[in-house]
Amino acid sequence: MSTKVSGFRHRATSDRQGVRFKSIRTGELTLMTIGGIMGSGLFLASGQAIRYAGPAVALGYLAGVLVMAAEMGALAEMAAADPIRGNFITYTSRVLGRGPAFTGGWIFWFSSILNMAAEATAAALFTRMWLSGVPVWAFSLGFAVLVAALNFLPVRGFGEVESVMSGLKILAVGAFLGLGVLALTGHAGAHPPLWRNFAPRGARGVGQAMILVLFSLSGTGILGMAAPDTRAPGRTIPAAIRNVSLMVLVFYVGAALLIPAMVPWQRVPTHQSPFVAALNSLRIPYVGGAMNLLILVAVLSALNAGLYSTDRVLVSLARDGYAPGLFGRLSARKVPVAANALTGVCLTAAASLIYFLPQEAYLYLVSATGLMVLFIWALIIYTQIRYRPWLERHKPERLHFRMPGHPYTSWLTLVLLTGILGTAFLASREAVALVLGVAASACFAGVYFLVRGRLRAGA
């Protein structure tokens, strides 16, 4: 989500795969969630979003943050009240049935594969800044294989490493915003032109960018994973959601306004980070290269975190009876070997798409992932609508955090997500991704009808 949603299972203060969470505070939860969200969607896909909409893509990010905040609230409410597993598929199964849970779980896993392939492709494109003579597909495959191999090793210090990487991402974007503001005010030795047309393609351009916006805001599932272990969830969770939403709003909207102010929106690159292109326009030595290095490390970190959590999603599906039991087993060192092998093979296959479609691969991957994120968020929201009455009947004392404005905010979010789905037809590449996403969803639903008798028997 980088997978960005986790399928970890919880006990009191730790999961079974060795990542420990105990009395998580607001700052820690904020940092963890920000780290899960910020990946190539911000650092690369934002370039195509700006090409669609110009500076007006900032309005798309504003709408996206509102939807993201509602999805985080829905997931956190369920996870904080019912922390047995911390996986939204468990809640979906309880109130909607095994069919939606099976289909949603496998769509989630598949979208995570596509998301990681997009991260590997983005990392390959960033690496070409220094090694342009090497085919980009070689880097993409190399990163995918390397990260898959690393995940066969025992996990130590995973949470600490990802916290550091989250800090680096925030530092990189904060530095970019600071330099951009200085440049625009004439204090960095450069006077880049401001945009002359805020919405050059009108509402249609903003609509074309919305699927990419959702992709760039995915990765919020870490909030649901950690919610059961927060200190004073009634205060910590809403504060973290508010902090994350405000920080993402500042970072994404700020970048959407500054980049086309530094580089004409028609010239914003789509195969290089627009952050690097904007900084290069300032003609400050080494600053573009330093930003590219920070972004590369951040994206590789997101890829590694994504593969780690995607493996655990498959483990969770297997233990819930939605996948062969083989994928639910851990080695003596707590490594899900079979799950990692399948995820790694599928990731490598998806990352090879750039060999066949060198110009379109990244956009196809992020568009397909964005559409599946839309489906997953809608499923989480609808599950929460149905789960709240279940909690009020069975565990009212556990509702430490309640979705603000329920049920009106939940239904409004579903309406917004439906509207965003309609924008997929405005961009040709996203329309192709929509067809592929619907086909994949239909395939998983079909598999469920083939195996549902066996699932019931094993339930």
Q: What is the pLDDT of residues 137-185, one digit of tens each?
A: 999 999 999 888 888 876 555 556 666 777 888 888 998 999 888 877 7
- 3-class secondary structure, 24: strand
Beta carbons of 374 and 367 less than 8 angstroms apart: no
pLDDT at 427: 75
Residue 336 or residue 412, greater confidence = 412
pLDDT at 18: 41
CA distances from 45 to 118, 213, 355, 370, 377 (A): 10, 8, 19, 11, 20
Per-residue pLDDT for 308 more than 60? Answer: yes
Angle of the 26-37 helix axis to the 233-262 helix axis, nearest 10 = 40
C-alpha to C-alpha distance for 306 and 112, rounded to whole angstroms = 7
Structure tokens at 222: 């870490």
3-state SS of 345-391?
A: HHHHHHHCHHHHCCCCHHHHHHHHHHHHHHHHHHHHHHHHHHHHHHH
Per-residue pLDDT for 63 more than 90? Answer: yes
pLDDT at 196: 63
* 26-458 CATH: 1.20.1740.10
C-alpha to C-alpha distance for 108 and 148, rounded to whole angstroms = 19
Q: pLDDT for 238-271, tens place per residue?
A: 888 888 899 999 999 999 999 998 888 889 998 8
C-alpha to C-alpha distance for 139 and 300, rounded to whole angstroms = 12
> What are all long-range contacts of 274-281, with beta carbons under 8 Å and residues at least 24 apart?
274/44, 274/46, 274/47, 274/50, 275/43, 275/172, 275/173, 275/176, 276/129, 277/47, 278/176, 278/180, 279/176, 279/179, 281/190, 281/192
pLDDT at 50: 94
Q: pTM for the full model?
A: 0.86
Work out the pLDDT band at 5, boundaries 50, 70, 90: very low
pLDDT at 291: 93
Structure tokens at 194: 């401001």
pLDDT at 10: 36
DSSP 195: P
Beta carbons of 98 and 459 less than 8 angstroms apart: yes
C-alpha to C-alpha distance for 100 and 441, rounded to whole angstroms = 11
Per-residue pLDDT for 322 more than 60? Answer: yes
Q: pLDDT for 355-367, tens place per residue?
A: 998 888 898 899 8
Least confident of 55-64, 111-120, 166-175, 344-353: 166-175
Sign of CA dihedral 306, 312, 315, 321: negative
Least confident of 297-311, 351-365, 386-400: 297-311
Which residue bears the tokens 């929460």? 384
Q: Which residues contact 316 (CB under 8 A, 6 or more apart)?
A: 7, 8, 9, 85, 87, 89, 105, 328
H helix runs in 231-360, sequence order: 233-262, 274-280, 287-319, 337-351, 353-356
Per-residue pLDDT for 57 more than 60? Answer: yes
Residue 124 or residue 225, greater confidence = 124
Radius of gyration of the chain (CA): 21
Q: pLDDT for 81-103, tens place per residue?
A: 876 654 688 889 889 988 999 99
